[in-house]
Amino acid sequence: MNPTATQSREQTISALQQGERFLLVTHEHPDGDALGSLLSMSLILRALGKDVVSFIAADDLPLSYEYDWLDVSDIVSEIPRDADERVVVFLDCGNTERSPLVDAAAAPEHLLNIDHHHDNTRFGSIDYVLEDASSTAEIVWDLANGLGVALTPEIAEALYLGLITDTGRFMYPNATPRSHAMATELLAVGIDGNLIFRRVYENLPEAKLHLFARALTVAERYLDGRLTLSVLSNDDFEQCGAPASYTEGIVDFLRAVDGTRVAALIRETTDESGQSYRVSMRSSDGEIDVSMIARAGGGGGHPAAAGFKSELGRDDLIALLCEQISEQS
Ligand SMILES: [Mn+2]
């Protein structure tokens, strides 16, 4: 760890020790790492006797099927009245634009930003951003050790969820010896790792199978195969009976196709601002930084996994991707 990170680790631990009341938040459409970090941090702070409120927006509840086994019974969807008196802890949030708490957040001196996104905008009073961490869960795990909180099976399960989802089940390059050491420690607590895998990855609704089939059928290659993408329309979702969240995982199939440097899943979406596309990208070999492409499109993410929303039409969007990839390769 570099000296700045060491300093912020101490500051973070001391802020967590000194605070009495906390409000924990994560990014919208929370994934396994967002949920795992939020739930584990809540349990860790409660083990220290703190008053903890965790927030997830009503739009994001109930959780999608992968995560419906998590105990979210005490998660609130209303911003507590005393939010401005609480230490607000942002977990796995690259920026505050993705959070509904942006206006309600506490005084800036009570804002803890714990994350691993390399493009984190450092919006906190304490920014504990470790780009080398596989997941925010990995940072929370280290903080639990720093705080002297013993891992219970509940804490370990939540941390394990964050770890396996953000490392792609230990397949992505971010799965370091440290990530595996973390897994060893979590499994030693007595959690059932296989059960968590099955709950998250082998609990597929049939509609998701049909959506995958559709996406793989319409896959296209550009730039001599360096870009592999699928476009899913509103009709595709309707005909398969699948919500947008069922696209999770499709892009990993596209990325696996021989010769692919970048895989993209483009899905149509209609909301209050009208019709647009959401683009989710993965870099296959780490040579192309997809977060740069995402930023060019008005989004963000990690070098190997990023996304953006666009008002461009289908063809213009694909042209933008091709242009951006050609610039980098
Ligand atoms: Mn994460």
Mean pLDDT in residue range 9-17: 97
The predicted pLDDT at position 28 comes to 87
The predicted pLDDT at position 104 comes to 55
Q: How far is the CA of 103 from the centre of ligand 1 (A)?
A: 23
- Paired with 10 in beta bridges are none
16 or 95: whose pLDDT is higher? 16
47 with 170, same domain? yes
How far is residue 116's CA from residue 287's CA, in Å, rounded to a whole number? 20
Is residue 106 scored above 60 in pLDDT? no
Q: How far is the CA of 315 from the centre of ligand 1 (A)?
A: 31
Q: How far is the CA of 141 from the centre of ligand 1 (A)?
A: 13
Q: Which pTM was predicted?
A: 0.88
Is residue 131 scored above 80 in pLDDT? yes
Which protein residues have a CB closer than 5 Å to ligand 1 (ion)? 33, 92, 135-136, 166
Q: What is the pLDDT of residues 75-96, one digit of tens each?
A: 999 999 998 899 999 999 988 8
Q: How far is the CA of 235 from the centre of ligand 1 (A)?
A: 31
The predicted pLDDT at position 97 comes to 73
The predicted pLDDT at position 78 comes to 93
Mean pLDDT in residue range 138-145: 98
261 with 221, same domain? yes
264 with 145, same domain? no
Q: How far is the CA of 318 from the centre of ligand 1 (A)?
A: 27
89 with 146, same domain? yes
216 with 195, same domain? no
Q: Say which CATH number the domain at 120 has.
A: 3.90.1640.10
141 with 227, same domain? no
Q: How far is the CA of 116 from the centre of ligand 1 (A)?
A: 6
Q: How far is the CA of 253 from the centre of ligand 1 (A)?
A: 20
186 with 224, same domain? no
Q: How far is the CA of 132 from the centre of ligand 1 (A)?
A: 11
Residue found by looking up tokens 């099976």 in the block: 153
Q: Is omega for the bond preceding 153 within 30 degrees of 0, making it cis?
A: no
19 with 147, same domain? yes
How far is residue 229's CA from residue 32's CA, in Å, rounded to a whole number? 24
Is residue 254 scored above 60 in pLDDT? yes
Domain end (from 157, 174, 200): 200
259 with 233, same domain? yes
Q: Say which CATH number the domain at 239 has.
A: 3.10.310.30
186 with 258, same domain? no
Mean pLDDT in residue range 263-272: 93
Q: How far is the CA of 163 from the centre of ligand 1 (A)?
A: 9
Mean pLDDT in residue range 19-46: 96
Domain end (from 200, 217, 252): 200
Range of the domain at 319: 206-328
Which region among 66-70, 164-168, 284-288, 304-308 has the lowest average model confidence (pLDDT)? Answer: 284-288
Q: How far is the CA of 135 from the centre of ligand 1 (A)?
A: 5
Q: How far is the CA of 166 from the centre of ligand 1 (A)?
A: 6
Q: What is the pLDDT of residues 200-215, one digit of tens each?
A: 999 999 999 999 999 9
Q: How far is the CA of 242 from the centre of ligand 1 (A)?
A: 25
97 with 9, same domain? yes
Q: What is the pLDDT of residues 169-224, one digit of tens each?
A: 998 889 999 999 999 999 999 999 999 999 999 999 999 999 999 999 999 999 99
How far is residue 27's CA from residue 95's CA, in Å, rounded to a whole number? 9
152 with 296, same domain? no
Domain end (from 200, 233, 266): 200
Is residue 3 scored above 80 in pLDDT? no
Domains of the chain: total: 2
| 92 within 8 A of 26, measured Cβ to Cβ | yes
